[in-house]
Amino acid sequence: MPILTKRPNKTPLGIYVHVPFCRSKCQYCDFYSLATKDDKLIDGYLDAVCDHIKEAGELAPGYQVNSVYFGGGTPSFFGGDGLAEILNTIRRNFDVSSDAEITFEANPDSVSDRLLHRLRAEGFNRVSLRIQSDDDEMLKKLGRPHTYAQAVTAYQRIRKAGFRNVSVDLMYGLPGQDLQDWLETLDNVLRLLPEHISCYALKVEEGTPFYELRQMLNLPSDDDQAEMYLSAVEALKSRGYRQYEISNFCRKGLVSKHNMKYWTGGEYLGFGPSASSDFAGKRYTLKRDLQSYIAAIRDGGDIMEEIQEIPMRERAGEYLMLRLRTNVGISAQEYEKTFLLPFAPLEEVMEKHRRYYHATQTDTGRWVLTPKGYLVSNDIITDLLLAQDGSQPLRRI
């Protein structure tokens, strides 16, 4: 084996940077972001995030970063220079592997050739483009600041700039949408041939403008949404997309490495207001307010909104809740070895759900959910958690 490619024996780490700026707020969005491009705020944010990264870098010498994800907010709206500066700060303070997946989220209205070329040159290799719908009326209803034509143009620019791993986001279960509308959207967007596609059911969250309007939105029923979901899974499968998570599909094995960390118990560090981390056994969330985040970084104050040390027993629950979202699924051997808890009570639950065609076992004996199972996964997971509650730890062998 050539010496140069030999990897140091380090723990893999993901880095998430929350960029809390948008052109405007969408009607359904409950992420933390500000509809502003105020220079002072942007500079303050940039300094704070970079300082924060510098501090954190010293704490993670045993780690190698294999994914960096800029989410938001709208990183593309924030601009190429700022993103590049943050990425470079990360590179200088962490050991970022040469084949790391480096993603930024983009909205169609803020994707310029200049931005794309700059970021491609800086080593960004994946773009997540938020298209959401192919219907301009719908985009307007959702409060999206772009048209579908803009989205197609943006996609083509991204391709031209040399990005070979592009993901697009779509939403279904939208106001007034029916199954036909949704399948057409999917059909149109799939012509773009993205490597990766995320399809999210609209969830009307408390605190969003949609929440106030929810009675008047004419949202599809749960049954209709279920139909939309299953049809999408079928359509994507027939076009060669593999479903690797409840809402995520990819070609050529191009899963989102970064997101897989969330579902498989990987470690990650978050920077920027409202970002979450799961690092060294603790899960924590940073302050969900830009000003307080900036002030806390500057003055060395408390930047945490919430911090939790997760006991092993709870990790065992998370294992079920998160892994079953993916096509990795759960295995008896892995579970018993990691958590020293018996799998038998869980096996019983999985067998029950197999009878409803909600779960199935792979050739290697791992349990995974079927698309129908994904649709009712809360019910399955809570059954498992209930079975887990009653189980006694295995004796250490």
Q: Does 386 bind another protein (CB under 8 A)?
A: yes
Q: Which of residues 280-319 bind another protein (CB under 8 A)?
A: 283, 285, 306, 308, 317-318
Q: Does 323 bind another protein (CB under 8 A)?
A: no
Q: What six digits make up the tokens of 138? A: 């719908």
Could you tell me which residues are beta bridge partners of residue 167?
128, 196
Alpha-carbon distance 117 to 122, whole Å? 9
Segment interacting with another protein (CB under 8 A) among 35-43, 277-285, 294-302, 335-343: 277-285
Q: Does 34 bind another protein (CB under 8 A)?
A: no
Of 147, 247, 292, 370, the residue at the interface with another protein (CB under 8 A) is 247
H-only helix segments in 200-342: 209-213, 222-238, 257-264, 290-299, 312-323, 332-339
Q: Does 208 bind another protein (CB under 8 A)?
A: no
Segment interacting with another protein (CB under 8 A) among 21-29, 36-44, 147-155, 258-266: 258-266
Q: Are 102 and 93 in contact (CB under 8 A)?
A: no
Quote the crossing angle between the two packed helices 113-122 and 80-93, to the nearest 10°: 10
Of 152, 235, 295, 385, the residue at the interface with another protein (CB under 8 A) is 385
**Closer by beta carbon to another protein, 122 or else 347:** 347
10 Å CB burial of residue 396 (0-12, 13-18, 19+) is exposed
**Closer by beta carbon to another protein, 190 or else 375:** 375
Number of residues that bind another protein (CB under 8 A): 46
What's the min distance (Å) between Cβ of 382 and another protein?
4
Q: Which of residues 225-244 bind another protein (CB under 8 A)?
A: 225-226, 229
Secondary structure element (H or E) that encloses residue 155, with its range? helix 148-160
Segment interacting with another protein (CB under 8 A) among 43-51, 80-88, 115-123, 272-280: 272-280
208 vs 28, 57, 139, 325, CA distance in Å? Answer: 6, 35, 16, 26
**Closer by beta carbon to another protein, 150 or else 262:** 262
Q: Does 157 bind another protein (CB under 8 A)?
A: no
| Residue type, position 357, single letter | Y
Q: Are 340 and 394 in contact (CB under 8 A)?
A: yes
What's the min distance (Å) between Cβ of 160 and another protein?
29
Q: What six digits make up the tokens of 107? A: 């909205």
Q: Which of residues 342-381 bind another protein (CB under 8 A)?
A: 353, 356, 358, 374-379, 381
Phi/psi of residue 204, nearest 5 degrees: -80, 105
> Nearest to residue 238, comparing CAs of 200, 198, 199, 186?
186
Binding site for another protein (CB under 8 A): 16, 200-201, 203, 222-223, 225-226, 229, 246-247, 259, 261-263, 268, 270, 274-278, 283, 285, 306, 308, 317-318, 321-322, 325, 353, 356, 358, 374-379, 381-383, 385-386, 389
